[in-house]
Structure 1
Amino acid sequence: MLTEAVVGLPDPRLRPWVDRYLGYREVASTPLVRREVAGAFVVLILGWADPLDVDDPRVGGRGVSGSAFLAGPFDGWCVTRTTGTGAGVQVVLSAPAARRLLGAPLGELANRAVPVDRVGGWLIHLRDALAAEPAWPARFARLDAA
């Protein structure tokens, strides 16, 4: 169950590439399963709590399991599953921003999710810094700076 959700807008200079930030905290004492909608956006999850599984039901098996990953764009829905406490920041990126972040063709990310440590170690350090911040406004400011 979602217990906290805080929307943050990036610095105006970043808005062509970063749509929004969503800080979240949720607790699921039983398995929480969601069907996530398809979209042309790319989502960066920088979480610091229990892992989330992301599956594409068309290919079977788990796509990725972890608390920090980069996902999408998906041309069909996917399924997420978690149990326990989830906390982190979701960053909704434009395709050009994701391309620059990946340093590879965006097609390599289509219909899949990859752990952020495969994208760049600096994202793990950023995630850890976000977790150490005491409040959402400070976390969003750190994302702007990064």
Structure 2
Amino acid sequence: MLTEAVIGRPDPRLRQWVDRYLGYREDAPVPHVRREVAGAFVVLILGWGDPLDVTDPRAPGRGAYAANAFLAGPFDGWCATRTAGTGTGIQVLLTAPAARRLLGLPLAELTNRAVPVDAVAGWLARLRDELAGDPGWPER
């Protein structure tokens, strides 16, 4: 269950690439599964704490498992997330062109997939670690 949520808007210079930020804390004392709606954004989760699974029921091999930081491309159908424990992090909604521009990835490599950030770009894992070390949402 979502226990804390803080929404942030990016600097105007980034708004063509980043729609918004969401800082969150989620507590799930028992396994929690939810369907995530299809969307056109690339979702970047820079999380710390207990990991989760992101799966596409049509192709489980395209998911991310036991990850607390991942990229999920645009999906043309729903995907599922499964978590237990406490997760904290920042969700960044990137526009489709941002995947190519900021991450050096063609959108086709992320479409209908979830990929741990460690497999995509080491700097994302370092950014996650820096954010986790900051004391609160304003600093993050």
User: What is the TM-score with the length of structure 2 in the denominator?
Assistant: 0.95
Q: Which residue of structure 2 lines up, in the alignment, with residue 36 of structure 1?
A: 36
Q: What amino acid is the match of 1:24?
A: Y
Determine the C-alpha separation between the residues in 2 that align with 1:108 and 1:128.
Answer: 25
In structure 2, the partner of 1:88 is 89
Aligned length: 139
1:72 matched to 2:85? The reply is no
Equivalent residues in 2 for 1:45-56 (5 A)?
45-56=45-56
Indicate the structure with greater helix content.
Answer: 1
Between 102-111 and 2-11, report the one with greater CA deviation. 102-111
Alignment of 1:1-146 (within 5 A): 1-60=1-60, 63-65=63-65, 66-139=67-140
Q: Distance in 2 between matches of 1:23 and 1:132?
A: 14
> Secondary structure of the residue that 1:92 maps to in structure 2?
strand
Deviation (angstroms), 1:137: 1.5
Confirm or deny: 8 A CA contact 2:56 2:63 kept in the other structure: yes
Once the 2 structures are TM-superposed, how far is the Cα of residue 80 of structure 1 from its aligned partner?
A: 0.2
Matches of 1:132 and 1:109 in 2, distance apart?
Answer: 28
Compute the displacement of 1:60 (Å). 3.5
Deviation by residue 1:102-139 (Cα, 9 ceiling, x = unmatched): 31311111000111111111111100110011111210
Q: What residue ranges of structure 1 are gaps of 5+ in the alignment?
A: 140-146
Cα deviation for residue 101 of structure 1 reads 2.7
SS at the partner of 1:31? strand
Q: TM-score, normalised by structure 1?
A: 0.91
Contact conserved, 1:53 with 1:62, CA < 8 A, in 2? no
* SS in structure 2 at match of 1:27: strand
Shift of 1:10: 0.7
Q: Distance in 1 between matches of 2:13 and 2:83?
A: 34
